[in-house]
Structure 1
């Protein structure tokens, strides 16, 4: 019996170490990619420079639309993107879509979403006073929830991401009365723009100009080395 318990304990410890190593690998590769792509010119911002954004208020997810509402919202978003000459890189809908879309914009790959989530939660934890007023629950419980893979990101995590990475996050949305939202970093000078589509409260994708959507290949460990 003791041997079985020891084996279970070793297996659990191994999984934790593997997960930590995955995140560390992602951090290392993400740093290299961030430097590599820092000087790349992004033209999406110029294409949409005439749009007027609304002030962003961080908030958690409180309302999920019905199937009918979601269908109408999705068509509205598709029509808007067509008008603006934009196209979505489809992001996996596994509960990590916000972090995957941010990862794609930051590092040209959705696969570093674990690292992005970790950095967002680190920001939330380190600067609690900046965010806790937008979270209508015990803040420690919110942090614990957001640490979990598959937990949906919200507008608080978007603000945290903008602050952590020094990026203006631009959302083209499916909302009827709100086409465009900008989330501006509050604590760092803006160094980059990240462009996402936001199918209201349902899904995030990564945005590119039509004809410039890249083909993404699933990462392989240590492929840079």
Structure 2
């Protein structure tokens, strides 16, 4: 216990902290370099053109209210699957470990869902730095909310999606299982998006990364998925 809190060996703790800080800086630089490759190039909008006939609804950031019961969840999943077929889309399955929203964003941004930790870290930074943009949507103490979102395995919500849209200058397009609203667009505030990120949203249960049918990239197989 003492070793965990750094009471036992101050020099070792300082060294560990320094190494962690250095590692975080390297991670930041790596992500910045990856994003810079297409930072100012316009997205090609393939999926956007395919679904241009859909009307999106205004997006209001919100936290997760309640998880649907198993029967509703099953119906919602079936609705989403039917929409995938109708729209000619396919999902890349993300692990069901509580990080699925950040995994799906990482897959769309970096073609690697393993970067979910870094996406979460930067989204949390966005929440901290621009508190005035998001606090009114959070029905709890804001510091507690941000602290909660910092933890791996904590489910992302529509507030973190808005923060991600603002941070990465992205239009986040959700194809959902909602019965009345099949498509939601989340736009960055006060700026034009430079990329599109496409996610499926099995409401309050799971997020996956979206591609055109037949164009889902081959990635390393994951052990745990949300599958019916």
Mark yes or no: TM-score above 0.5: yes
Match of 1:186 in 2: 189
**Alpha-carbon spacing, 1:128–1:213, altered in 2? closer, same or farther (3 Å):** same
- Structure 2 match to 1:6: 8
| Residue aligning to 2:133 | 130
Q: Quick one: structure 1 residues 76 and 21, their matched pair in 2 at CA, closer, same or farther if it must change by over 3 Å?
A: farther
Q: Which stretch shows the higher mean deviation, 46-55 or 28-37? A: 28-37
Residue of structure 1 aligned with 2:51, choices 29, 48, 53:
48
Q: Select which of 104, 109, 117 maps to 2:120.
A: 117
Q: Distance in 1 between matches of 2:59 and 2:19?
A: 38
What residue in structure 2 maps to residue 141 of structure 1? 144
Distance 1:155 1:200, change over 3 A: same
Which sections of structure 2, spanning at least 5 residues, go unmatched?
Answer: 222-228
Go from structure 1 to structure 2 and tell me whether the alpha carbon gap of 1:158 and 1:44 turns closer, same or farther (over 3 Å shift): same
Deviation at 1:119, TM superposition (A): 1.2
1:202 match: 205
Q: For residues 117 and 85 of structure 1, what CA distance do their matches in structure 2 show?
A: 30
Taking the aligned partners of 1:3 and 1:171, their CA distance within structure 2 comes to 45
- The alpha carbon displacement at 1:21 in A equals 5.5
Aligned to 1:167: 170
Give the alignment of 1:10-29 within 5 angstroms.
10=12, 14=16, 20=21, 23-29=24-30
Counterpart CA distance in 2 for 1:3 and 1:194 is 42
Counterparts in 2 of 1:208 and 1:66: CA distance versus 1, 3 Å: same
Q: Is the partner of 1:190 in helix, strand or coil?
A: coil
Post-superposition shift, 1:11? 7.5
- Runs of 5+ consecutive residues of structure 1 not aligned to the other structure: 219-225
Determine whether 1:70 maps to 2:80.
no
RMSD of aligned Cα (Å): 2.5
The SS at the match of 2:166 is helix
SS at match of 2:165: helix
Counterparts of 2:3 and 2:129, CA distance in 1: 41
| Structure 2 CA distance for partners of 1:19 and 1:210, relative to 1, 3 Å | farther
